[in-house]
Amino acid sequence: MKRKRIRNLCLFFLIGSILAVFGCQADRKGSDGETITVVDQLGRTVTVSKNIKRIAALHHFGGKVVFALGAQDLLVDQALYHWENQAMAKVNPSFAAKPKLIQGHDINYEELVALRPDIAIAYTSFDPSDLEKLENAGIKVIAIRGETIEESFDGVRLVAKVLGREKRGEEYIADCRRLYDLVAERTKAIPPKKRLKVMFAGPKNIYSAATGQMLQNTLLETAGGRNVASSLNGFWASVSPEQIAAWNPDVIFLGSSLDSYGAEALFDNQQFKTVSAVKNRRVYVFPSNIGWWDYPAPHCILGLVWAAKTLYPDRFRDVDMKKVADEFYRKYLGYSFTAMGGKLPVSGL
């Protein structure tokens, strides 16, 4: 996934001045002075107050977790990302009134410091030295990661512990596991040779493929597919048209972050005329229109259910994807998927 880099670090002198004005260089403590010490997913030991009242989320994963834990009222910023941010702003006036720290892939750090959060939740792809500079400026930072399902659960537990919402965190994880187990139970008996060959293309163009080291590989394999690029390493490996033709995937998924091309572009491309997925028109854009289901975060469990139902509709005929999404969103974002403007491809209904 794309790495959000901290920019304009030369402004930390100015940030320090802002902090001096607000008098927040000292570590914050709860009203009773109690603190809690945790080890984040970068292996950093961080001590924070037990009385967290203000949270900044610098990555969509952190924002989703805070919402799922029912702590969204503590957010000082909008904290969601792209389409999901826009969808939430339309239905929640309180959310819409909060400042938007993330613009594209940049973060407004001057405004972040001025908002005086007790903690900031970042992703592990942030440069550790930059996180240290933020902490030196008076902001406690918790780094989380979710490149696998289990990692994302660990991230939930970490934030839940910091916020004292462990019970809610375990409830969230249990609901995710229930959906995961639903899919795994129905696909585990599919023989390897009968599993559909799947390519997951994203976010640059059709010539980039999700490798065996990515979350998308877990989604495909658990959904009963065989990732044609599973032997490749790294993130979004560049591949040639000849390689895609040789793989001859039965199904092609286009990552949900793609808005520059779609299935029709493949159907019209002569380089793919021999590929089974194109010949049989089994090319699908991963949901959803308001919040990506293939990005690291426990919400990707919805993408897993959708992928399995899309690959093997007969095995999941009784699963109403829209109903599943509505219930999950209502419980963990406060509004149903439909109420937020969510729509699914025809293949996922």
Given a contact cutoff of 8 angstroms between Cβ atoms, the answer to whether 140 and 119 are in contact is yes
pLDDT for 237 equals 93
pLDDT for 96 equals 94
For 108-120, how does the pLDDT look when each residue is reduced to its tens digit (9 = 90+)?
788 888 889 999 9
Alpha-carbon span 34 to 48, nearest angstrom: 9
pLDDT for 299 equals 86
For 38-97, how does the pLDDT look when each residue is reduced to its tens digit (9 = 90+)?
999 999 999 999 999 999 998 888 999 999 999 999 999 998 888 888 999 999 999 999
pLDDT greater than 60 at residue 8: no
* Band (33; pLDDT cuts 50, 70, 90): confident
Domain span(s) for CATH 3.40.50.1980 in the chain: 9-164, 176-342
Sign of the Cα torsion 170, 79, 158, 25 reads negative
Selected residue with higher pLDDT from 122 and 125: 122
pLDDT for 184 equals 96
For the chain, give the mean pLDDT.
Answer: 85
The top-level CATH class assigned to 9-164 is alpha beta
pTM of structure: 0.85
What is the dotted CATH code of the domain comprising 176-342?
3.40.50.1980
Q: Is omega for the bond preceding 256 within 30 degrees of 0, making it cis?
A: no
Of the listed ranges 108-122, 147-161, 236-250, the one predicted with least confidence? 108-122
Alpha-carbon span 290 to 51, nearest angstrom: 33
pLDDT greater than 70 at residue 13: no
3-state secondary structure of 209: strand
